C-alpha cells in the first residue's frame, strides 16, 4: 500500500512542479539554516571527554579577606598558590592537579627561536585527562616534589623539532635553561578545551608541559587571569594574595565527590578559624559539563542565531502548511472519487501524509546541501571554534529526522482537511 | 471598495486565511527584531577609538628568557624604529586598542571607600598619547621628567606613591565627576593616589570585557615600559606608508635581536576589522535570514493566492457576467490581501514587542524603537501587494463565459 501511495504522491508532485518546488525550497531553507546553527550548538555544547566528564571536577573557593569579599558574588574560578599547594599536599582526591597556562620561547635544532604555548601542571594531569603518550611516559609525582627539569612535548612540536623521531631523553633549550624530554604526547585534543577556558576555548593543546613546581622555580612566564588583593610584588610567590591557579580533581564515584565537598567545607572552616577571614567563605565542585555551562562556552550570538533559525523554520513550515492545504483541497474531486470507490478516511489521510513526507525528504536532502554550505561559511569565520565545526553522522541523521518530522507536522492539518472532504459534494461539483 | 463580501468569503476560508495571517505576523515580528539587531551591530562597529585610526601600526615581539638589559634594549629598539623613513612617532606600550589583552584595575574616589567605584584600564608607555594621536581637550600631556620606569616602580611601594599624574578620557571624567572639571582631582589606586592633569576626547580600552558601556574608561600613566614587561610597539606614519613601515619595523626589530619572535604585525585598521568581525558576520547572517524570510513569505502568498483564484474561478466568472469589471476583480484580491496583511501586521507588532522583551532580558538589547513598527508594516504591505499582484491579474483575466461552463 505504501508503494502505491508513494507512486500517487510522486505523480501528484510532478503535476504541479512550481508548487512542489516552492514547498521543497521552503523546507530546504528552513532545514538548512536550522541545521547549520544546531550543528554549531552541538559542537559547542558537546562533551569534550565523554565517559569521564562526570568524574572530573573543577575546584573553586572564595577565601578573600573581609574587605574584598562581597556577599552574593560568584565563587572565583582560581585558587591562590597557598590553597592549591595545601590541597595538593592533602591529596584527598583520586587524582588532582593545580595548573596554569604559559608561554615560552624554545630554540630549535637549527637555532631558530620558536614561541610555544605551555602548561605547568602535575604528574596526575596526563592520566586524569586521558592524554595518551606516543613515546616515553609522563613524569612521576616524585618529579613534581623534586622540581625535576623535565618536560612532555606535543606530537606537533616533536615533529617540528625532531622530525617525529623518538625524542625521549633529548634536551629542550629554554633561554639559558634546559629541560629533559621524558614523554611525547600522542594525538590529544580537547575541544572545548575545558581544563582551561581562559586562554581560548577552542584550539590545539599546548606544546610543552612542565611540572608546576619546576616552572615556578625557573620563573617561567605564565599567562591567564591573575587577580590580587593587597600589595603583591610577586603574584607567583608562595604566599602571594593572588588567585591564579586552576585546580582539577578526579573523583571516581558520587560518594567520593560528596566526601571531597565535605573536605573542602572543613578546609574553609579551618581557614576561618585560622583568622584569614570572618565571612563564611565558599567552596565548590563543578563537573565538566556544569563547568562549561557556568563559563558560557556557547556564545550568546550562537544562541541567538539558533533562535532565529528555528523561527525561520517555523515560518517555512507555516508556508508549507498553506501550500499543502491548497494542493490537497484542489484535488477534492480526485479525493471524492477515491472515497466513493471505497478508500477509507484513514487511507486518504495516510496518502496525504506520504506526499508531505516525500516533500520533507526532498527538502531535507536539499537542506543538507544548504547546511553544508552554511558550515563552510561558519568555518571561514575567524572564531576559535570555527575550525572544529563539522557535521557528524548524528547531525546528518538529525537533519532528515527534523525534515521528515516537520513536513509531517505541516501535513497533519491539510491531510485532516482532505480526509474530511465529503465525496458526494466533491463529485457533484465536478 | 466594499469589504463586507470579502469578509464573508474569508469567513468560509478560515484556515487558509489564518495561515496567511500567522505567516505575516511571524515574519513581521522576526524581521523587525532582526533589522534592529543588524542596526545595533552596525552602530557598535562605528564605536570611536579616539586614536589616529588610519595612521597606526602595531608590531608585537617576544624575546627569549629573562633580559638583563631590557631598558637599554627598549631605548635602542625605539631609536631604530624612529629612524625608519615615514615614521613620525613610536612607543613601546603595555596594551593596544582593539586587541584582547588588557591591564585593568579598580579605582576609588575616596581611600576610605569600602568598595571600588569602577574598573578602568591602565595604559602605560612613554610618548603613548602623542603616538596614538589622541585629542587633548583639557589640561596637558606628560612632561618628559614625569615619566618613571615601570620596572622600577613595580616592586617598590615608595616609588609607586611618586607616580603623581594621570591623563584620563572625557568619558571616564564624566562618569566619575559628572558636570565638573576633572583637572586636579584625585583617583585612588590601592593606597596611592594620582591627580588628573589632562583629559583626552577619547581612548577606547582594549578587550571590552566589561561591556560596551565602559568602553571609554581609560587612564594613561606616565610610565616607561621596557622589553621585559611590554611587547607591543606602536608606530605612526602616513596611511599610504603603513605597509612599508610595517615590514621595515619587523625587520629592524629582528635585526636588533635575532633571538626574537615577531608574534603579530598589523595596522590598527586590520586590528579593528578583526575586533568587530563577530558583529559583522552576525549582521550579515541576520540580513541573509531577513531576505530569505521575506522571499519565503512572498512565495507563500503567491502560492495561496493562486490556489484561491483557481478555487473561485467560477465565482469570478459569475461576477464578471453580472457586470463586474476587470478592475473590480483585481481590487477585490488586492483588498483581501491588504486586510489579511493588516491583521497579520497588527498581530506581528505585538509579537515583535514580545520578542524584543525577551531579547532585552537575555541579551541586554535596548528597547525596539517605535519607528520600526510603521516601517515594518509598510514593507510587509508592499510585499503582500507585490506577491498578490500576479494571482490577482490572473483572476481579472478570467472571462465571464466561465460562468456558463461547468469547470
Same domain, B196 and B311: no
Average pLDDT over residues A91-100: 94
Same domain, B142 and B94: yes
**Rounded mean pLDDT for each run of 10 residues along chain B, 407 residues in total:** 78 84 93 92 93 95 74 93 95 93 86 82 94 95 93 81 91 94 90 91 88 92 91 95 94 87 92 90 88 90 86 87 90 92 94 92 85 89 93 90 70
Tell me the three state secondary structure of residue B56.
strand
What pLDDT does residue B356 have? 93
Question: Residues A356-394: pLDDT tens digits?
Answer: 999 999 999 999 999 999 999 888 877 778 888 888 888
- B218-221 and B118-124 as β-strands: parallel, antiparallel, unpaired? parallel
Cβ partners under 8 Å of residue B153, min gap 6: B159, B160, B162, B163, B223
Same domain, B76 and B224: yes
Residue-range domain boundaries for chain A: 2-45+298-429, 56-294
Inter-chain touch B363–A113, beta carbons under 8 Å: no
Q: Would you call A207 an interface residue with chain B, using a CB distance cutoff of 8 Å? A: no
Q: Residue B226's closest CA among B92, B377, B404?
A: B92
Inter-chain touch B304–A323, beta carbons under 8 Å: yes
* Interface ipTM: 0.80
H-helix or E-strand spanning residue A97? strand A95-107
What sign has the CA pseudo-torsion B211, B216, B217, B221? Answer: positive
Q: Which range, of A227-231, A340-344, B56-60, B161-165, averages the lowest pLDDT? A: A227-231
Contact status, residue B293 vs residue B379, Cβ threshold 8 Å:
no
What pLDDT does residue A140 have? 94
Contact status, residue A215 vs residue A222, Cβ threshold 8 Å:
yes
Which set of grid coordinates corresponds to residue A351?
Answer: 496518502
Tell me the three state secondary structure of residue A47.
coil
Which set of grid coordinates corresponds to residue B22?
Answer: 500567522
What pLDDT does residue A430 have? 52
Given a cut of 80, is residue A426 above it in pLDDT? no
What is the rounded CA–CA span in Å between residue B130 and residue B140? Answer: 11
Contact status, residue B36 vs residue B356, Cβ threshold 8 Å:
yes
For residue B173, being part of any structural domain is answered with: yes
Of A67, A176, A325, which is closest to B65 when you measure between CB atoms? A176
Smallest CA–CA distance from B26 into chain A, residue: A315
For residue B382, being part of any structural domain is answered with: yes
Q: Which of B275, B306, B322 is the last residue of a domain?
A: B275
Tell me the three state secondary structure of residue A59.
strand
Same domain, B303 and B160: no
Same domain, B202 and B68: yes
Of B261, B292, B303, which is closest to A326 when you measure between CB atoms? B303
User: Which of A101, A318, A327, A411 is the best mutation test for B, with the most CBs of B within 10 A?
Assistant: A318
Same domain, B74 and B221: yes
For residue B201, being part of any structural domain is answered with: yes
Domain count along chain B: 2
Same domain, B213 and B257: yes
End-to-end CA distance of chain A: 27
Compute the radius of gyration of chain B from its Cα atoms. 33
Q: Which of B275, B291, B325 is the last residue of a domain?
A: B275
Q: Which of B256, B275, B294 is the last residue of a domain?
A: B275
What pLDDT does residue A386 have? 81
For residue B51, being part of any structural domain is answered with: no
For residue B306, being part of any structural domain is answered with: yes
Q: Which range, of A67-76, A320-329, A412-421, averages the lowest pLDDT? A: A67-76
What pLDDT does residue B175 have? 95
Give the Å distances, CA to CA, from A315 to A359, A394, B236.
16, 25, 52
What is the rounded CA–CA span in Å between residue B141 and residue B128? Answer: 10
Given a cut of 80, is residue A229 above it in pLDDT? no
Inter-chain touch B282–A234, beta carbons under 8 Å: no
What pLDDT does residue B173 have? 96
Question: B231 has which bridge partners?
Answer: none
The whole-angstrom distance between A90's CA and the closest CA on chain B is 33
Same domain, B100 and B38: no
Same domain, B166 and B265: yes
For residue B204, being part of any structural domain is answered with: yes
What pLDDT does residue B55 have? 96
Q: Residue A204's closest CA among A149, A155, A158?
A: A155
Same domain, B83 and B119: yes
What is the rounded CA–CA span in Å between residue B325 and residue B343? Answer: 28
Q: Residue A32's closest CA among A395, A319, A377, A364?
A: A364
H-helix or E-strand spanning residue B281? helix B277-311
H-helix or E-strand spanning residue A403? helix A393-419
Range of the domain at B390: 4-46+278-404
Same domain, B36 and B103: no
CA A5 vs. chain centroid, Å, equals 43
Of A323, A329, A417, which is closest to B300 when you measure between CB atoms? A323
For residue B216, being part of any structural domain is answered with: yes
Of B19, B64, B302, which is closest to A318 when you measure between CB atoms? B19
What pLDDT does residue B357 have? 92
Which set of grid coordinates corresponds to residue B370?
Answer: 517605535
Instruction: Read off φ and ψ for residue A282, nearest 5 degrees.
Output: -140, 145
Contact status, residue A152 vs residue A126, Cβ threshold 8 Å:
yes
Chain B positions touching A327 (Cβ under 8 A) are 307
Same domain, B215 and B295: no
Amino acid at each position: 500500500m505504501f508503494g502505491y501511495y508513494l507512486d500517487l504522491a510522486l505523480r501528484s508532485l510532478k503535476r504541479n512542479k512550481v508548487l512542489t518546488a516552492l514547498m521543497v525550497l521552503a523546507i530546504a531553507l528552513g532545514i538548512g539554516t536550522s541545521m547549520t546553527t544546531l550543528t554549531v550548538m552541538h559542537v559547542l555544547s558537546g562533551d569534550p571527554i565523554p565517559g569521564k566528564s562526570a568524574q572530573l571536577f573543577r575546584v573553586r573557593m572564595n577565601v578573600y579577606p573581609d574587605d574584598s569579599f562581597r556577599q552574593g558574588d560568584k565563587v572565583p574560578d582560581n585558587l591562590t598558590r597557598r590553597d592549591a599547594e595545601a590541597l595538593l599536599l592533602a591529596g584527598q582526591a583520586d587524582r588532582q592537579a593545580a595548573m596554569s597556562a604559559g608561554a615560552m620561547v624554545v630554540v630549535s635544532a637549527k637555532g631558530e627561536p620558536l614561541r610555544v604555548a605551555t602548561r605547568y601542571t602535575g604528574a596526575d594531569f596526563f592520566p586524569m585527562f586521558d592524554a595518551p603518550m606516543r613515546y616515553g611516559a609522563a613524569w612521576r609525582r616524585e618529579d613534581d616534589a623534586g622540581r625535576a627539569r623535565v618536560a612532555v612535548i606535543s606530537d606537533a612540536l616533536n615533529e617540528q623539532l625532531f622530525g617525529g623521531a623518538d625524542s625521549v631523553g633529548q634536551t629542550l633549550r629554554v633561554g639559558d635553561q634546559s629541560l629533559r624530554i621524558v614523554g611525547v604526547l600522542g594525538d590529544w585534543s580537547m575541544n572545548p578545551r575545558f581544563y582551561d577556558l581562559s586562554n581560548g576555548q577552542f584550539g590545539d593543546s599546548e606544546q610543552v608541559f612542565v611540572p608546576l613546581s619546576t616552572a615556578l622555580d625557573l620563573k617561567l612566564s605564565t599567562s591567564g587571569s591573575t587577580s590580587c588583593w593587597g600589595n603583591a610584588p610577586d603574584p607567583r610567590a608562595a604566599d602571594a594574595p593572588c588567585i591564579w591557579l586552576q585546580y582539577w580533581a578526579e573523583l571516581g564515584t558520587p560518594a567520593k565527590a560528596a566526601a571531597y565537598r565535605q573536605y573542602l567545607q572543613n578546609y574553609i572552616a579551618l581557614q576561618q578559624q585560622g583568622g584569614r577571614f570572618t565571612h563564611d567563605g565558599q567552596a565548590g565542585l563543578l563537573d565538566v559539563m556544569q563547568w562549561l555551562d557556568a563559563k558560557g562556552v556557547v556564545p550568546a550570538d550562537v544562541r541567538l542565531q539558533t533562535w532565529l533559525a528555528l523561527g525561520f523554520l517555523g515560518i517555512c513550515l507555516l508556508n508549507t502548511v498553506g501550500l499543502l492545504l491548497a494542493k490537497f483541497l484542489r484535488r477534492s474531486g480526485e479525493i471524492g472519487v477515491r472515497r466513493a470507490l471505497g478508500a477509507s478516511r484513514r487511507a486518504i489521510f495516510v496518502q496525504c501524509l506520504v506526499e508531505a513526507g516525500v516533500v520533507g525528504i526532498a527538502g531535507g536532502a536539499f537542506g543538507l546541501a544548504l547546511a553544508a554550505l552554511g558550515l563552510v561559511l561558519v568555518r571561514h569565520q575567524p572564531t576559535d571554534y570555527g575550525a572544529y565545526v563539522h557535521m557528524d553522522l548524528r547531525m546528518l541523521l538529525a537533519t532528515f529526522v527534523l525534515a521528515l518530522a516537520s513536513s509531517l507536522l505541516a501535513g497533519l492539518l491539510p491531510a485532516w482537511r482532505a480526509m474530511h472532504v465529503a465525496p458526494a459534494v466533491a463529485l457533484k461539483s465536478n | 471598495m466594499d469589504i463586507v463580501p470579502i469578509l464573508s468569503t474569508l469567513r468560509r476560508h478560515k484556515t487558509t486565511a489564518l495561515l496567511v495571517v500567522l505567516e505575516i505576523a511571524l515574519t513581521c515580528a522576526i524581521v523587525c527584531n532582526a533589522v534592529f539587531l543588524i542596526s545595533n551591530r552596525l552602530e557598535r562597529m562605528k564605536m570611536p577609538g579616539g586614536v589616529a585610526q588610519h595612521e597606526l601600526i602595531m608590531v608585537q615581539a617576544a624575546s627569549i628568557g629573562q633580559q638583563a638589559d631590557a631598558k637599554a634594549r627598549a631605548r635602542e629598539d625605539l631609536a631604530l624604529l624612529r629612524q625608519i623613513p615615514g615614521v613620525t612617532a613610536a612607543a613601546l606600550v603595555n596594551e593596544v586598542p582593539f586587541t584582547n589583552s588588557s591591564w585593568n584595575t579598580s579605582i576609588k574616589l575616596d581611600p576610605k571607600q569600602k568598595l571600588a567605584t569602577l574598573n578602568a584600564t591602565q595604559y602605560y608607555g612613554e610618548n603613548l598619547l602623542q603616538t596614538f594621536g589622541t585629542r587633548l581637550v583639557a589640561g596637558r600631556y606628560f612632561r618628559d621628567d614625569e615619566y618613571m620606569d615601570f620596572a622600577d616602580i613595580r616592586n617598590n611601594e615608595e616609588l609607586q606613591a611618586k607616580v603623581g599624574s594621570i591623563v584620563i578620557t572625557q568619558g571616564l571624567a564624566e562618569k566619575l565627576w559628572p558636570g565638573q572639571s576633572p583637572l586636579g582631582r584625585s583617583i585612588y589606586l590601592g593606597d596611592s593616589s594620582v591627580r588628573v592633569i589632562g583629559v583626552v576626547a577619547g581612548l577606547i580600552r582594549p578587550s571590552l570585557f566589561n561591556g560596551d558601556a565602559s568602553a571609554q574608561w581609560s587612564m594613561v600613566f606616565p610610565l616607561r615600559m621596557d622589553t621585559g614587561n611590554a611587547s607591543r610597539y606602536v608606530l605612526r606614519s602616513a596611511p599610504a606608508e603603513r605597509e612599508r613601515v610595517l615590514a621595515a619595523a619587523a625587520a629592524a626589530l629582528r635585526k636588533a635581536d635575532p633571538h626574537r619572535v615577531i608574534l603579530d604585525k598589523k595596522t590598527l585598521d586590520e586590528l579593528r576589522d578583526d575586533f568587530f568581525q563577530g558583529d559583522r558576520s552576525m549582521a550579515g547572517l541576520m540580513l541573509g535570514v531577513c531576505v530569505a524570510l521575506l522571499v519565503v513569505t512572498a512565495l507563500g502568498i503567491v502560492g495561496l493566492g493562486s490556489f484561491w483564484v483557481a478555487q473561485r474561478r467560477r465565482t469570478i466568472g459569475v461576477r464578471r457576467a453580472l457586470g463586474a469589471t476587470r478592475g473590480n476583480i483585481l481590487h477585490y484580491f488586492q483588498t483581501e490581501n491588504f486586510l489579511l496583511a493588516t491583521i497579520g501586521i497588527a498581530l506581528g507588532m505585538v509579537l515583535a514587542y514580545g520578542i524584543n522583551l525577551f531579547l532585552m532580558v537575555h541579551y541586554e538589547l535596548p528597547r525596539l524603537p517605535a519607528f520600526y513598527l510603521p516601517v515594518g508594516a509598510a514593507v510587509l504591505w508592499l510585499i503582500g501587494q507585490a506577491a498578490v499582484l500576479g494571482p490577482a491579474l490572473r483572476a481579472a483575466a478570467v472571462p465571464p463565459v466561465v460562468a456558463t461552463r461547468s469547470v
